[in-house]
Amino acid sequence: MGEKIAFIGVGRMGSGMVARLIAAGHELAIYDPVASAMAPLAALGARVASSAADAAATSSVAMASVPGPADARETARLIAGSAKVKVFVDLSTSGPAAAQAIAALLAPRAISAIDAPVSGGVTGAAAGKLAIMASGPAPAMERVRPLLEVLGKVYRLGDKPGLGQTVKLANNLMSAASLAIAAEALAMGVKAGVDPAAMLEVLNASSGRNSATQDKFPKHVLNRRFDFGFANALSFKDVRLCLDEAEALGVPMVVGAAVRQMLSITHQIHGAAADCTDLVRVVENWAGCQIGSKEE
C-alpha cells in the first residue's frame, strides 16, 4: 500500500519527483503557489490542495521542494499544524541553519524532520537518478527511505539535522567553482587560437575535467544556448548559504568568496532570469572573445 504524501512545491524539480512518486503507487496531495504548475500532475492523479496545510491534512509524510530557507521554514510551520503528518522531508537546498530550525520547530509536534537536498537537476528528477543527501533520526529515515529511493540514490549522512544540507552546499559551491574556472580556462584557450571543442576533448581526457567541461560547455555553451536549466540566482543563493555556514564554523573560503563574487556580477549584468551558464558570458566579455558559436 502506498503512502499518503503531501508535496509542496511542484516546479521544475518538484514536478518530476511527484510524477515518479505517483507512478510508484503513492497517493499525492500537492500544493504550489503557481496554480498552472499543478495541472499536469492533477492529470496524473494528484489531488490539488488549496494550501500546504490542506495538503498535509490527509498525509502522513510531507515533502517540500521550495526555493530557499525562508520558504522551507514557512512550509514546515504550516505542516506543523497537521494532526496526521509524522515525517517532514525537505528536499530543497535551504542550508543547515534552516534544517536545524525546522527540526526544533517540528519536534514538539512529534513530527520528525529529514533534510534531504538533491543533486541531478531536472533530468535526474524525472529519471529517478538524483543524488539524495539525507540526515535525520534513524526511525524516520527508514520510513521515508523507500520513497526517496523512488527519486534516486540515498546517501545517509547521520542523525544530526543539517548534515545533508552541509554536503549539498559544498557540492553546489564546487559545481559553481568548476563553471567559473572552466570559463576562464576556455577563454584563455580561445583567445590564443585554440578551437574550444578540441580543447574540451583534451580537458575531458585529462585531470582538469569537471562537470562544466563534461556537460555544461559541450551541451549549453558551445551552441550559445546558455540553457542548462539551473538559475544563476539559485546558484548565487546556494553559494551565499555555503559561505555563511563556513564562516560560522570558522572555515576560510578564499576561493569560495571569489566564486560568490562572480555569481553576484552575473546576477547584476544578466538579471534574475539568468541561467547559471550566463556566467561564461561575463568572462567572455571581459576577455574579448567568444567560446563556441551557434553552428557548433
In degrees, rounded to 5, the angle at the alpha carbon of residue 278 between the alpha carbons of residues 276 and 282 is: 130
User: Residue 231 pairs with which residues in a beta bridge?
Assistant: 275
Do 287 and 281 form a contact (C-beta atoms < 8 A)?
Answer: no
Q: How far is CA 195 from CA 132, 136, 163, 212, in A?
A: 37, 48, 42, 17
Catalytic residue among 4, 129, 160, 168: 168
C-alpha–C-alpha distance, residues 284 and 280, integer Å? 6
Name the phi and psi angles at 19, rounded to 5: -60, -40
Identify the CA nearest to 116 among candidates 59, 78, 80, 62: 62
Q: Is 129 part of the annotated catalytic residue set? A: no
Contacts with 217 (C-beta within 8 Å, 6 or more apart), sequence order: 182, 186, 196, 200, 280, 291, 292
Tell me which residues are annotated as active site: 168
